Structure 1
Amino acid sequence: MSNKNTKMSLSKATNVAEEINNIDTTEKKANDKISSKKKNVPNFKILNLIKEQQQAQRDAELKADEEAKENQRLQEEYERKKQEELLLLEKKREKKREAKKKRIQRQKQEGLYLTKEQREKHHRAQIQFESLGIHVPPRTNVQQSGIQKRILYNDFQKTNSTCITTPSTEDENSEEENICNEDLVQTKDTLRAPVICVLGHVDAGKTTILDNLRRTHVQDNEAGGITQQMGATNVPLDTIVERTKMSRKLISRQGDFMIPGLLIIDTPGHAIFQNLRSRGSSLCDLAILVVDIMNGLQAQTIESIRLLIDRQTPFIIALNKIDLLYGWKSNKEKDVESVLEEQDSFTQDHFEKRYDEIIVQFAKQGLNVALYYKNPNPNEYYSMVPTSARSGDGMGSLIAMIIETSQTNLAKHLSYTNELQATVMEVKAIHGLGTTIDVALINGCLSVGDKIIVGGQEGPIVTQIRRLLIPESNQELRDTNQYENKDKVMGTCVVKIAAKDLEKSLAGLPLFIARTHDEIDYFKNEIELILTTVLNSFKLKESGVYIQASTLGSLEAFLELLKIQKIPCSGVNIGPVHRKDVLRASTQLENDIKWATILAFDVKIERDAQDYAKTMGVKIFQNDEIYNLCSMFVAYQNQLIKENQDKYRHLAVFPCKLKILPQNIFNSRDPIICGVRIEDGFIKIGTPICVPSKDGIDLGRIASIEMNHKSLDIARKGSEVCIKIVSTTNDTAKMYGRHFDKDDILMSKISRESIDIIKAYFRDELQESDWRLIIELKKIFNIV
């Protein structure tokens, strides 16, 4: 009985325990639900932050849309103004065309107008008549009121076709044409002086040839002995006659001279001065290509050939420096053909060898060349004249070939016209005259009192000619101080113009004459368009140096050199360095101190600009030789790099990957001395070493490097060296065999800071494979 009661008690106790467990389980589930509900309760602070962020994003988008609309409005306004300017310009051009059309109609009514075909017929007839000895009577002034007289052969007349008439009903333009034509009386005056350009390689003898022609020594005054700007020289007819007396047979028509002289432009010979040469060649009628007979065609020679071919400019080749031939005997009083025949056989052989090599070099450029006295067809072969600018051999023959080519092949092209064609070549301050401009006058005429328009630093300049100055014969305009005053000058010549407000005028741009307000506005727009087009063509960078040059051509040439040197440019200007230029350059201080630099080529620096540059921390380099100026900046750049390298070298970590040589373990704990093979990168003293495979434990820094018992500062990929690693922390020294072993690869411990320092100051010390290793290490060390 007692057992039965005991069993019943146990059964009840079990049931009670189960009910208690069920109750606990139910309460636990309820509590879990309550806690989960509490967890799902949102955090209102976070929601408010999210809302604020979304609102800020919407505000930023609205602001960006407004800015985009404003930029679009400004762009449309700019386009509208541009279209208005173009329409205004087109109206002015149309007005000019109408005026020209009316003038032609008036000339036709008066019987003064000649067609192009009639002018060509006259030119051919004139040459034929004179070759037969038939004299064409010159035009004479007939002072009969209301009566128009025309000279004989008027159907063939080219420039002299303008009839002499009392200018009672002519407008200002016709009066100016009659004034300019008063000097065109003799036959030779129907041709203008040809513009001769001299091109070739550096030190080929271009300026020396010009010195020989002028019998001056301009090269001594050049910066670095190399031409920096375009200089011009008037060579008169009497000089030509004297210099060609031994080679008169080369000039056809019984050695008669039809041209009044030569205008020679000395163009620079650098490869970098292509733009200056391009400007010179645009004025050029005939070129002298100077080739050093000892060196043949060189880089700038080939580039000059391409330039001349592209511009379809005829040229004569001066085979210069024949006095350097072995055993050469000079005789400048004879034609060079005769001088060559009088040379010894070994000298002639040397000449033939050099000559044949140069013929092959020209053939590779697709050109046929021949000695001028052996030229089978001048229309198919370029003539070569052996010369020596130093001894004078062949110079007379060269001048004679220039005259012959000008009077035959170029006679049509050299016909004088009244349309003004003039280019400002240089701006120069002259004591007693103030600021003047040197102008190459190709066609047309200039008179004292003419209103001229030239380009300026702050826009077109309108002024009036006060004085016209012509240099002495055979003197270069930029070098002589002896001038002759003229009331009127005609092309072709170089002339110095004195006028007001020329201080900020620019070289390299055309000069125009205006007689009415409409013409002034038209030519001002023309100059602005030319200058804007050129300046906008420069590809400037956000970070870079600031360039200041004396002329537009020099500026373009300088930028080309900087491009080759991989020096970026952030801003440009023409003329002296002013305070505003320093202010513009100072904006680069935010980017890099080395770019806060002004490179001033052939310009002066104003005193206030110098003081302001010192205050702002802007560096100014000034030089008259373009290559020296670049060298000065490169040296300054290297100096800054060296200073920064010394300053940050202790923070620079170079990439390396090392394989332990287990047979060369000399000390297993601090300092660890062991042999390693450099698998990749390179090591330097001070490089921190770690073991990435062992949680990146630091071993210390390399204290020394040895190879074959010789200490090294650096060891590169593939080398097997012994290194000593010294611990630099207070942690327990790491031990080879316990913390790492031969299977672990040792690496340099780089960081984001060390990578930035290497990029900024040690970039040149790394090879391409080193940069690839840096990328690999960035992934290993999780560097962003």
Structure 2
Amino acid sequence: DINEGFKPQTSEALEILKQFKTPFVVAANKIDLIPGWVASNNWCELFKNQPQKVLDLLDKKIYELVGHLFEHGFQSERFDKLTDFTKQVAIVPVSAVTGQGIPQLLLVLVGLAQKFLTHKLKQGEEGLARGTVLEVKEATGMGLVLDAIIYSGNLHKNDTLVIGSISGPIQTRVRALFETMPLCEIRDKKAVFKQVEEVKSATAVRISAPNLEGVVSGMPLIGFKPEKGLLESAMKDVMNQVESVILDVDGKGVIVRADSLGSVEALLKMLKEEGILVKSASIGNISKKDICEAESNKEAAPFSAVVLGFNVTAQKDVLDYAHQCGVKVITSEVIYKLIEEYKAWYEQLKLEMQQKELDKLVSPCKIRVLPDYVFRQSNPAIFGVEVLAGLLKLDTPMMNKEGKVLSNVKSIQEQQENLPQAESGKRVAISMLKVTIGRQINEGDVLYSAVPERDFKRYKELKHLLSEEQKQVLKEIAEIMRKHQPFWGV
């Protein structure tokens, strides 16, 4: 849509085209919706009939597309201004409603195909039809049918058909072939079909055949005459195509589901570029089996306890089961959004795990013994303190300013209520065993938590999670400890 410009799906499509080095043309649609546009059937007169402000607006929108394409590494220009079709991408302004620009778009497509895809346009091996499944659906009066593109060879009624699937090749027989009437699109629900005896490449065709239950979109198919004796080689051929995608995984990592073989291939390629490992990839909606497979990663590789679904869904009972198992399910209709959501979840999980690890370390804190607030001198010593910095927790080992470890905090109370911890600024009563007020501890003393060297080093690695106050307390603790051990915590 020339009026809306680039969408996330556009960027994603460009990245896939770039990866597979596929030549393409940009159809800048809906020029008829540009304010003030004057329709004309004559392309040569089309731009001459437009007011100057309309032409300026059209140029602005086209050069916005040029800018976006440049950001993706493509040189481009409006097709009638191009100097080299082999080095620049053609942008053709069109209107699907009025038909303006459609002949020019087809002309550019044919020219590019002849230039870059000559070997792809050649017919395949004699007597062998090759194609790709577009969709499997229920058709009134026929049951399950499949829509396919035959891109090589000819397919006939009563031919043997071999179709790839996850569980193995499916063998069936063509009962009937249907082509759309002129100007109809095979995916359109209102499309009108006519029955034919034969279809030639390249053709969209609806195939009626038995045993189509296991067929899914994107799967390869091969058709041939029964008497040709090609069954074994055809079955091997289609499964090699399926396995080249499905088995191109790392054996460890996330679980991937997509709606078609092509989608799986594109998603795997983009995940690989992002350095995301894939344990298994398959076609179809997310199932409990996928959840179980992802759950098996949870203990050894928690960041892989996730199922990524592209253009697929998960039923409520599957999502409930995933929640019970602690498995993350992420679905999207846009690959890059799917990867972005996974990365965001990854970072959030990483943060949560690091925070849990922090909670297990000896918390850095600094306290001052309050004068005139000694409630018991020993066994245990009970006295009032003010938390000057950090977080004072139960069972925290404490040391004095010389670095001598005294004892652990046995209890924390505020107004006779037991607390698990006390934050900076609070005044609480604490109890400690094996110390006596007036000997090891005096009123007005400043005490620090006795952070082990191992914990201190880990804090250095996780310093992005610490407050400035916590960092300052750790710095003071390190200075105390380095008076006795110069390389402590280094």
Place the TM-score, normalised by the shorter chain, in its bin: 0.5 to 0.7
Distance 1:655 1:269 in 2: 50
Aligned amino acid, residue 489 of structure 1: V
The residue that corresponds to 1:746 in the other structure is 448
The residue that corresponds to 2:430 in the other structure is 727
Q: Any stretches of 5+ residues in structure 1 without a counterpart?
A: 1-199, 207-225, 227-267, 272-276, 278-299, 677-682, 705-712, 716-720
Distance 2:143 2:248 in 1: 33
Match of 2:198 among 488, 492, 498: 488
Residue 584 (structure 1) shift: 4.0
1:406–1:517: structure 2 CA closer, same or farther, 3 Å change rule?
closer
1:22-33 equivalent positions in 2, closer than 5 A: none
Aligned amino acid, residue 332 of structure 1: A
Distance 1:584 1:366 in 2: 39
Residue 464 (structure 1) shift: 0.7
Alpha-carbon displacement from aligned partner over 1:59-107 (angstroms, at most 9, x marks no partner): xxxxxxxxxxxxxxxxxxxxxxxxxxxxxxxxxxxxxxxxxxxxxxxxx
Aligned amino acid, residue 671 of structure 1: G
Contact 1:666 1:674 in 2 (8 A): no
Distance 2:59 2:429 in 1: 73
Could you tell me the TM-score, scaled by structure 1's length? 0.45
Match of 2:25 among 299, 310, 316: 316
Alpha-carbon displacement from aligned partner over 1:479-511 (angstroms, at most 9, x marks no partner): 426433322222222112222222222433432
1:125-140 equivalent positions in 2, closer than 5 A: none
The residue that corresponds to 2:213 in the other structure is 503
1:124-163 equivalent positions in 2, closer than 5 A: none
Alpha-carbon displacement from aligned partner over 1:511-569 (angstroms, at most 9, x marks no partner): 2124457521112222222223323321232xx54333332222344446666888764
Distance 2:230 2:365 in 1: 75
What is the number of residues matched between the two proteins?
452
The residue that corresponds to 1:571 in the other structure is 280
Distance 2:85 2:358 in 1: 71
Aligned amino acid, residue 746 of structure 1: Y
Distance 2:31 2:67 in 1: 18
Match of 1:428 among 129, 132, 137: 137
SS for the counterpart of 2:235 is: helix
Match of 1:523 among 230, 234, 241: 234
Residue 455 (structure 1) shift: 0.6
The residue that corresponds to 1:402 in the other structure is 106
Alpha-carbon displacement from aligned partner over 1:182-234 (angstroms, at most 9, x marks no partner): xxxxxxxxxxxxxxxxxx9997479xxxxxxxxxxxxxxxxxxx9xxxxxxxx
The residue that corresponds to 2:260 in the other structure is 551
Distance 1:202 1:698 in 2: 72
Distance 2:188 2:439 in 1: 79
Contact 2:76 2:91 in 1 (8 A): yes
Residue 733 (structure 1) shift: 6.9
Alpha-carbon displacement from aligned partner over 1:585-607 (angstroms, at most 9, x marks no partner): 55446557886665555557799
Distance 2:342 2:83 in 1: 53
The residue that corresponds to 1:11 in the other structure is none
Residue 671 (structure 1) shift: 2.7
Aligned amino acid, residue 25 of structure 2: I
1:65-80 equivalent positions in 2, closer than 5 A: none
Contact 2:28 2:93 in 1 (8 A): yes
Contact 2:36 2:54 in 1 (8 A): no
Percent identity over the alignment is: 19
Residue 440 (structure 1) shift: 1.0
SS for the counterpart of 1:521 is: helix
Would you tell me which structure has more strand in proportion to its own residues? 2
Does residue 331 (structure 1) correspond to residue 35 (structure 2)? The answer is no
Q: Any stretches of 5+ residues in structure 2 without a counterpart?
A: 374-382, 414-420
The residue that corresponds to 1:306 in the other structure is 18
The residue that corresponds to 1:460 in the other structure is 169
1:35-50 equivalent positions in 2, closer than 5 A: none
Contact 1:335 1:397 in 2 (8 A): no
Alpha-carbon displacement from aligned partner over 1:231-269 (angstroms, at most 9, x marks no partner): xxxxxxxxxxxxxxxxxxxxxxxxxxxxxxxxxxxxx64
Match of 1:417 among 123, 143, 151: 123
The residue that corresponds to 1:141 in the other structure is none
Aligned amino acid, residue 690 of structure 1: M
Residue 465 (structure 1) shift: 0.9
The residue that corresponds to 1:163 in the other structure is none
Contact 2:165 2:242 in 1 (8 A): no
The residue that corresponds to 1:33 in the other structure is none
Contact 2:2 2:31 in 1 (8 A): no
SS for the counterpart of 1:452 is: strand
Distance 1:521 1:426 in 2: 25
Distance 1:562 1:408 in 2: 30
Aligned amino acid, residue 461 of structure 1: I
1:507–1:612: structure 2 CA closer, same or farther, 3 Å change rule?
same
Does residue 691 (structure 1) correspond to residue 399 (structure 2)? The answer is yes
Distance 1:382 1:635 in 2: 34
SS for the counterpart of 1:410 is: helix
1:612–1:653: structure 2 CA closer, same or farther, 3 Å change rule?
closer
The residue that corresponds to 1:386 in the other structure is 93
1:593–1:539: structure 2 CA closer, same or farther, 3 Å change rule?
closer
Distance 1:650 1:381 in 2: 54
Residue 450 (structure 1) shift: 0.5
Alpha-carbon displacement from aligned partner over 1:8-32 (angstroms, at most 9, x marks no partner): xxxxxxxxxxxxxxxxxxxxxxxxx
1:323–1:741: structure 2 CA closer, same or farther, 3 Å change rule?
farther
Distance 2:456 2:236 in 1: 55
Distance 1:404 1:611 in 2: 47
Distance 1:475 1:668 in 2: 93
The residue that corresponds to 1:535 in the other structure is 246
Residue 406 (structure 1) shift: 2.0
1:133-282 equivalent positions in 2, closer than 5 A: 204=5, 269=10, 271=12
Would you tell me which structure has more helix in proportion to its own residues? 1
Distance 2:18 2:162 in 1: 34
SS for the counterpart of 2:262 is: helix
Aligned amino acid, residue 417 of structure 1: Q
Contact 1:202 1:270 in 2 (8 A): no
Distance 1:333 1:203 in 2: 23
1:417–1:583: structure 2 CA closer, same or farther, 3 Å change rule?
same
1:52-71 equivalent positions in 2, closer than 5 A: none
Residue 764 (structure 1) shift: 8.4
Residue 697 (structure 1) shift: 2.6
Distance 1:650 1:382 in 2: 53
